[in-house]
Amino acid sequence: MNELKEIYDRISFLRLKGVKMKDIAEKTGFSPSVLSAVYSTVLPAYFKEIEKGTDEKEALDKALVWVNNVSKKKLLGSLPTLKSTLFSMEALPQRNKVLPNNPFLETLGCNLKESVNQIPNYSGIYLSYSISSSSPAMKIEPYLIAPSENGNYVEVGHQNVYGTTHWGAAMMNGQNHLYLLFNESRSPQLALFYICLKIPMYDRPPFLRGLYICCDYNYNPIARRILFVKVSESADREEFLKMKGTLKSLESLDGKEKTYYDYTCQREDVIRMCNIPSPQMTDQDLETEKRFLNI
C-alpha cells in the first residue's frame, strides 16, 4: 500500500506546480470525478485511519465508504499504471499571476509578523485537555508555542494522540486572544483546525482557556472547550517532540486531571453536528438533527 502514499504525494506535487486535475486525469486514463474523489476523499481518509492504527486493508475499506464512484478492485489493479504515468508527467513552471489586493489577507500577513513581538509571555510547552470525539475519554496532547527560527512568525506545534505532529502558526489579537491555526491534512489539501485562546489579565499565566474547532471522523464540524496548562517555559523543539499525546478514561485520572475533566469534558463543553439523510432537505431536518444529537 506504499504506492498510495507515493501517488498522493505525486499528485500533490503536480498540483502545486500548476497542473490541473483534469489534465492529470486525462493522462492517467481516469475520469476527473473519480481521480478527484480518490485524491481529495479516499486517500486522506485512508491516511487518517492508518494514523489511528487501523490495518491497511480495513483502512482502505473504510475510506472507500465515503465515495460511491470508486471501485476497490479497479483502484488496486490500476495502481502500478497510475503511479508510472504520474511520475512520467512533467510539471512545467508556471508564471506568477498578479493577484488583486485583499485587505483581509494583508492584515493576516502583518499580524503574523507582529505577533512575534507579543508572544514572549505565552511561549513554552503546554499540555492541552479536551474531550475526545472518538471515545469516552479526555485527550491530553502537547503543544509548543514559540517564535519561529527565522523570527518571521509564531510557530506552533501539536502532537496528537495518534502520534502525528502538526505544525502551524499563531496570531494574536492585541492582548485579548491567541489564535493557533493548523492544517490537519497533507498539502495542498486543507483541513483547517484552529484554537482560540482567551488571554487573561495576568503576567505569564499558568494556563489558558479557549475553544477548539475542527472536524470529527465523519467530517462534521465540532467545537470543544479546551484547556492549555503550561508545563515548561522551554521553546525547545526536541523537548517538545519527545512528548506524546494520550487518552485517559475518567477512572484513571488523578485529582488535578479530574478538575480538568470536569471543566472540559461535560455535555455542555462540546457542540456537534451530524448528517441527516434527507431527499427534501427541509426545516424539519434541523429539528431531527438536534433530537438525534440529544439521544
pLDDT in tens, 141-200: 999 999 988 888 999 999 999 899 999 999 998 778 999 999 988 777 888 999 999 999
Question: Is the bond preceding 188 in cis, omega lying within 30 degrees of 0?
Answer: yes
Higher pLDDT, 279 or 195: 195
249/152 Cα distance (integer angstroms): 40
- pLDDT at res. 107: 87
pLDDT band at 274 (very low <50, low <70, confident <90, very high): confident
Asked if residue 119 has pLDDT above 70, the reply is yes
pLDDT band at 209 (very low <50, low <70, confident <90, very high): very high
Kindly report, residue by residue over 73-87, the tens digit of the pLDDT. Answer: 888 888 889 889 988
* Average pLDDT value for residue range 19-42: 87
* Average pLDDT value for residue range 238-266: 95
Domain boundaries, given as residue ranges, for the chain: 2-88, 103-293
Give the chain's mean pLDDT: 88
The CATH code for residues 103-293 is 2.40.128.120
pLDDT band at 278 (very low <50, low <70, confident <90, very high): confident
Asked if residue 26 has pLDDT above 60, the reply is yes
Please provide residue 39's backbone torsions phi and psi, each rounded to the nearest 5 degrees.
-75, -45
Asked if residue 251 has pLDDT above 60, the reply is yes
273/218 Cα distance (integer angstroms): 10
Pairing type for strands 138-147 and 165-173 reads: unpaired
What is the number of other CB atoms lying within 10 angstroms of the CB of residue 96? Answer: 6
- pLDDT at res. 149: 85
- pLDDT at res. 65: 86
In contact, 289 and 281? CB cutoff 8 Å: no
Q: Which residues are paired to 172 by β-bridges? A: 178
- pLDDT at res. 230: 96
117/135 Cα distance (integer angstroms): 39
Asked if residue 245 has pLDDT above 90, the reply is yes
